């Protein structure tokens, strides 16, 4: 079973609880910078009682202008690489962490469909970045299904990425051997 297969079996409440526990164990706060998920990640986090201990701010920057205005994503970068790109999501998460003061953040931008896909970025193409105000790492996923399915999968991937990074930080390099 792949990571994505096992991920799809976890409900959002389970992921939200795991994220809250990981944040509390590390004394971390998280933020979100969302485009195609429209606030779905922030909603999943705040559905958990006590989430205010680790979540204060989330950004839904659906338009390119909002990405630039609220998160400081350079307009020239969006023009050059597109909203659905490594460069854009990395700038989004860095900006969200800088503006919110959060320890860790996630950014998501993708093509949920049914329209908007291109040969280079078909429907289901979603870029994710996790990081802080100093930098980020990113990955592209190609998610299957209709608009709702793509968005739901993207929320799960975003939450799992936050959890993975926080749990790795709590365990430290020695305990992962």
Could you read off the pLDDT tens digit of each residue along the chain, which spans 177 residues?
344 445 556 799 999 999 999 999 999 999 999 999 999 999 999 999 999 999 999 999 999 999 999 999 999 999 999 999 999 999 999 999 999 999 999 999 999 999 999 999 999 999 999 999 999 999 999 999 999 999 999 999 999 999 999 999 866 554 433
Match domain 3-171 to its CATH number in 3.90.950.20, 3.40.50.410, 3.20.20.70, 3.40.30.10.
3.90.950.20
Three-point CA angle 177, 12, 149, nearest 5°: 110
């Amino acid at each position: 079973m792949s990571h994505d297969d096992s991920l799809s079996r976890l409900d959002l409440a389970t992921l939200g609880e795991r994220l809250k526990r990981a944040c509390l164990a590390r004394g971390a706060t998280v933020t979100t910078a969302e485009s195609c998920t429209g606030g779905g990640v922030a909603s999943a986090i705040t559905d958990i009682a006590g989430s205010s201990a680790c979540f204060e701010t989330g950004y839904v920057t659906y338009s390119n202008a909002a990405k630039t205005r609220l998160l400081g994503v350079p307009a020239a970068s969006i023009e050059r690489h597109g909203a659905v790109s490594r460069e854009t999501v990395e700038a989004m998460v860095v900006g969200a962490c800088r503006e919110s003061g959060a320890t860790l953040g996630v950014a998501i931008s993708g093509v949920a469909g049914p329209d908007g896909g291109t040969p280079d970025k078909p429907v289901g193409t979603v870029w994710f970045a996790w990081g802080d105000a100093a930098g980020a790492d990113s990955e592209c996923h190609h998610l299957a299904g209709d608009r709702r399915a793509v968005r739901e999968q993207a929320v799960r991937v975003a939450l799992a990425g936050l959890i993975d990074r926080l749990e790795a930080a709590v365990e430290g390099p020695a305990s992962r051997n």
